[in-house]
Amino acid sequence: MNPEHIIDQTLCGAIAAAGFAVLFNVNFRLLPWCAAFGGLALAVRTICMDSGLNLEGASFAAALAAGIAVQLLRVARPDISQNALAVVGCIPMVPGSFAAKAILGLYALTTSSATSDPQTLVTTVQYTLRVAFTIGAIGTGLAIPTLFLRVRVSR
């Protein structure tokens, strides 16, 4: 494991999560928290992938870690919206490159020349499945702490 690579991924995840928080109109006072959870999620995913886990499994572990961290923060700060922090923190883990390749593959399949090329179909299906499984892993990783560690706050 390269520590510089993990730090780089953490900083990039923090910047991306803060940017998505601005796009999602999250309260300005929550931007540092969004950045922290985005950095945490990408750091955990990078460590897991460097340890040999595939993208889907590493994304699940990272979303699980971010979900647990959000639930723990909810104990200390009940006024913070946990859903916004959890989702915005995990958005940088969505595999945009695979999604773009899957969409381009689907466009290629609509041409008449691609109908005789089974490799295009196989590659497109592989990218599409990786995107679907990664997004499913992120959603599941975020849902588990919410279901099992839900903190009841009286208001």
pLDDT(137) > 80: yes
pLDDT mean over 6-31: 92
Give the pLDDT confidence of 47-64 residue by residue, as tens digits.
999 999 999 999 999 999
The per-residue DSSP string of 89-146 comes to HHGGGS-HHHHHHHHHHHHHHTSGGGGG-HHHHHHHHHHHHHHHHHHHHHHHHHHHHH
CA dist., res. 80 & res. 89, Å (int): 14
pLDDT mean over 61-73: 91
Q: Where is pLDDT greater, at 145 or 81?
A: 145
The residues near 129 (Cβ < 8 Å, ≥ 6 apart) are none
**Residue 153 has what DSSP assignment?**
-
What are the residue boundaries of the structural domains of the chain, listed by start? 3-93+140-148
Residue with tokens 């647990």: 68
pLDDT category at 27 given cuts 50, 70, 90 is confident
Kind and range of the H or E run holding 75? helix 55-76
Amino acid, res. 110 = T
Report the alpha-carbon angle 130-134-137, nearest 5: 140
